[in-house]
Amino acid sequence: MLVAIDLALDRLFEYNVPEALAKKLAVGQLLCIPFGHREARGFAMAIMEDAPSSTAGKAYKLKDVSSIVDEIPFFGPSTLELVKRIASYTLSPIESVLKAAVPAAVLKPGAKEKRQLYVECALGGEMPKGEGTERQRWLYAQLRRVGGGWLSQVVEEFKTTPSTLRQMQKAGYIKIEEVQRRRNPLNISRILPSRPLPLNPGQQAALDAIGKATKPVLLFGVTGSGKTEVYLQAIDRELKKGGGAIVMVPEIALTPQTVQRFASRFGHRVAVLHSALSDGERYDEWHRIRNGEASVVVGPRSAVFAPVKNLSLIVVDEEHDTSYKQDVSPRYNARDVAVMRAAMEGAKVVLGSATPSLETWANAKKGKYSIASMPNRAGAGSLPKVNVVDMAYEKDRGIFSRALMDAIQLRLDRGEQTILFLNRRGFSRSLSCEDCSEPVMCPKCSVAYTYHKADQCLRCHICGSWCEVPAKCPACGSGRLSYGGIGTQRAEEALAKCFPTAKVLRMDADSTSRKNSHDDILGAFRKGEAQILLGTQMIAKGLDFPNVTLVGILNADSSLNMPDFRAAERTFQLIAQVSGRAGRAELPGEVFIQTYSPDETAIIAAAKGDFEQFAAGELAVRKATNYPPYCHLAAISVQSKNQKLAADWAQMYAKSLAGASKHFGSLDAGEAVPAAIEKADEWYRWQITVRSATASAIAAAWKWLVAVRPPHKDLRLAVDMDAYSLV
């Protein structure tokens, strides 16, 4: 049989199946196998009647499979085929895709369910009169009232001892048994059940379109149009037919809110999968899905692989979001995997967004996907009034424009809430010398340190290193250092000075490092415990707060100035999504976009909320310059800790790819150039972009090249097929 070992070796290994295991063995099972001088683990990929007995004319004896870790396969035939396709398309080792498809907590040796002692009444009714002590009769009555409980809870709540309960067990009054105790990330008991809401005509038409769908459906609805209610009712239809569903959200920050809405409708049938869970919680949730106990799965990117039984619907909410694209091997796009998996398993797939990716929009325009439009907000909500503020005319050039400050004060006076968006964490973007103008740089990366006032240190947002704030400039020795740029910590401090009576919550990577911190911050804001929520892109989409009537976008130019062909698209999406957090209920909303580029097409279109106009113009530019969605684009990264080695090999590979164009179709290989961030964590990085009408042509050319010129041992190579960022 063929086995994929739990190592990134990018090949399958042959093993013999001993007679004792032959009847139990199945494709997709997790196995223990001998590998070299140790025991390894791997997945059964294929079973063959007769394995080859020689290689290059030399006979060899196959080693035996040692044992089966779990007789129930981790992967069914369709999921294994999906894994193979992803590995082939992304040029990734198949082992890395297998590991991405199953939580590490599930594969960890020794991982198992949690078992604890459970106490319950053993008699059918009340204790016979005259039997037991008065204390035992009282304990029995309490256990009967609550229906039993975990031994530790019973001891604590009823102020008893394990020995007392053991005596009652010996007398036959109660049972004490060891049973599985689910490590539950959801407190369903605190979530009130909900019923389906009446749908407006746009929602009903979208629901009907999903029900009849024979191809992917783009649910194109403005922010606040009620897409989630459509998802809920579409899933309910599938559950009633015996199907299961996956709901994907782009950010962990959105998961608690989304889970609560789905759990209120579907109760214990909902499972959640994301990286913020403990190992035990992930283990239990994955096995609940696998055994069919949970039929609705909510989670970010990796949820696309959830082993849902009878999968009949996949929802990709905010399908445009870049977090669906994994930036380490395997570099898959979960949205595209969802479409692929749905096609393979005969399931429906819904891609929801108010600002679709241009790839999805182009597919819809070509008829490859169908479109269900929801142009109006649900209920009494209306789209907010949008104001563009040209910061060049602000006299003091501060963080907040005068107009935005007045608007915030007005909301505070009315008892309404404000969301402020600034897509840069930390206090100041950099610490620079006033004499030589040099910023204090991270020695491991070609980026400036960011100052974090809360920790009184400089931090690198690329490699994570930090240092104390220097007294003098490392470049020239001057003591005249100044902070430049604005981060969320600095904006938070400024808000405290401008609005001393307002409670401000900050939500960024620094404030959400603790478990459940996303849920705690959003929960406090929802309850009205704070008047202003300040955050990075994790607050830009999916959040629904009825009392938020003002949104301020503090630096709309930050994404626009990135050296990337998707910069305009990302800018439009961010502005439109953040703007959509305002005025989602009865109260009207207002948005202030602060920018130094008020005439940029992306900002003008986002202010108007006109996606179709923006998409038409941007697609025309992409077509004229041959960028996606009119081609496949791969970013090849050549990295080394030796700067010259990285440059030389990158240039050699670029020339070889350019010369190979006639052999592999219409390849357009660019020159090798230093990456936008040339050095990251001590690795020098060079980049080659390759474009072609087909991804297979790029893959074939790259495989040929590394076979002809195997990389130097001190190089790291990475290929990002359908790259989402060139930075």
**Per-residue pLDDT tens for 135-168?**
999 999 999 988 889 899 899 999 999 999 999 9
Highest mean pLDDT among 124-138, 167-181, 308-322: 308-322
Matching CATH topology for 188-374 and 385-425+487-621? yes
- C-alpha 194/C-alpha 262 separation (Å) is 9
Q: What is the pLDDT of residue 423?
A: 87
**How many angstroms separate the CA atoms of 431 and 500, rounded?**
27
More confident residue, 146 or 532: 532
Q: Do you find a cis peptide bond into 330, omega within 30 degrees of 0?
A: yes
Alpha-carbon gap, residue 591 to 594, rounded angstroms: 10
Amino acid at 393: Y
How high is the pLDDT of residue 121?
Answer: 93
Measured in degrees and rounded to the nearest 5, phi and psi for residue 4 equal: -95, 115
Q: Does CATH number 3.40.50.300 belong to domain 188-374?
A: yes
Strand blocks (E) in 508-608: 532-535, 548-553, 590-595
Q: What is the mean pLDDT of the chain?
A: 91
User: Which residue ranges make up each domain of the chain?
Assistant: 2-103, 115-180, 188-374, 385-425+487-621, 632-721
Say yes or no to pLDDT of 381 above 80. no
Closest CA to 107 of 96, 118, 116: 96
Handedness of CA 600, 604, 605, 607 (dihedral sign): positive
CA distance 219 to 213: 12
pLDDT surpassing 80 at residue 625:
yes
Q: Report residue 512 as tokens.
A: 């959400």
Task: Name the residue with tokens 């970010």.
Answer: 300
pLDDT at 675 over 90: yes
Phi-psi region of 310 (alpha: psi -120 to 50; beta: other; left: phi over 0): left
Mean pLDDT of 159-186: 90
The two three-digit tokens of residue 470, written as one number: 């220097």
Section 212-229 average pLDDT: 95
Residue 578 is encoded by which pair of tokens? 């953040």
Token match 């994301």: residue? 274
- How does residue 485 score in pLDDT terms, banded at 50, 70 and 90? confident
pLDDT value at position 189? 54
DSSP 188: G
Residue 128 pLDDT: 87
Report the candidate in 120, 20, 132 with the shortest Cα–Cα distance to residue 66: 20
Tokens of 258: 């989304």
Question: What SS3 state is found at 680?
Answer: strand
Q: What is the predicted pLDDT for the residue at 253?
A: 66
The residues pairing with 149 across neighbouring beta strands, listed in sequence order, are 119
SS (H, E, C) 253-304: HHHHHHHHHHHHHHHHHEEECCCCCCHHHHHHHHHHHHCCCCCEEEECHHHH
CATH topology (fold) of 632-721? Alpha-Beta Plaits (3.30.70)
∠ CA 506-512-518 to the nearest 5 degrees?
85
Nearest residue to 544 via CA among 581, 511, 579, 503: 581
190 pLDDT more than 70: no
- Joined together, the tokens standing for residue 49 give 């009647």
Residue 47: its pLDDT value, please?
87
Classified as helix, coil or strand, 220 is strand
Q: What's the CA gap between 583 and 550, in Å, rounded?
A: 8
With beta carbons less than 8 A apart as the criterion, state whether 279 and 212 touch: no
Q: What is the pTM of this model?
A: 0.88
657 vs 650: CA distance, rounded Å: 11
Does residue 188 register a pLDDT over 80? Answer: no
The values of phi and psi at residue 247, to 5°, are: -120, 115
Q: Provide the percentage of residues in the chain whose pLDDT is more than 90.
A: 72
- Dist CA 318 CA 356 (whole Å): 8
C-alpha span between 317 and 59 (Å, rounded): 54
Residue 621's pLDDT is 96
pLDDT of residue 59: 55
Instruction: Give the pLDDT confidence score for residue 663 in this predicted structure.
Output: 84
| Nearest by Cα to 417 from 522, 295, 493 | 522
Position of tokens 């053993």? 122
Task: Quote the CA–CA distance of 148 and 32 in Å, as a whole number.
Answer: 40
The CATH superfamily holding the domain 385-425+487-621 is P-loop containing nucleotide triphosphate hydrolases (3.40.50.300)
Q: Specify the CATH number of the domain 2-103.
A: 3.40.1440.60
Q: d(Cα 268, Cα 270) in Å, to the nearest integer? A: 5
Least confident of 173-177, 516-520, 701-705: 516-520
| 370 has pLDDT over 90 | yes
What is the per-residue pLDDT for 82? 97
- Predicted local confidence at residue 584, as pLDDT: 84
- Distance separating alpha carbons of residues 461 and 453, to the nearest angstrom: 15
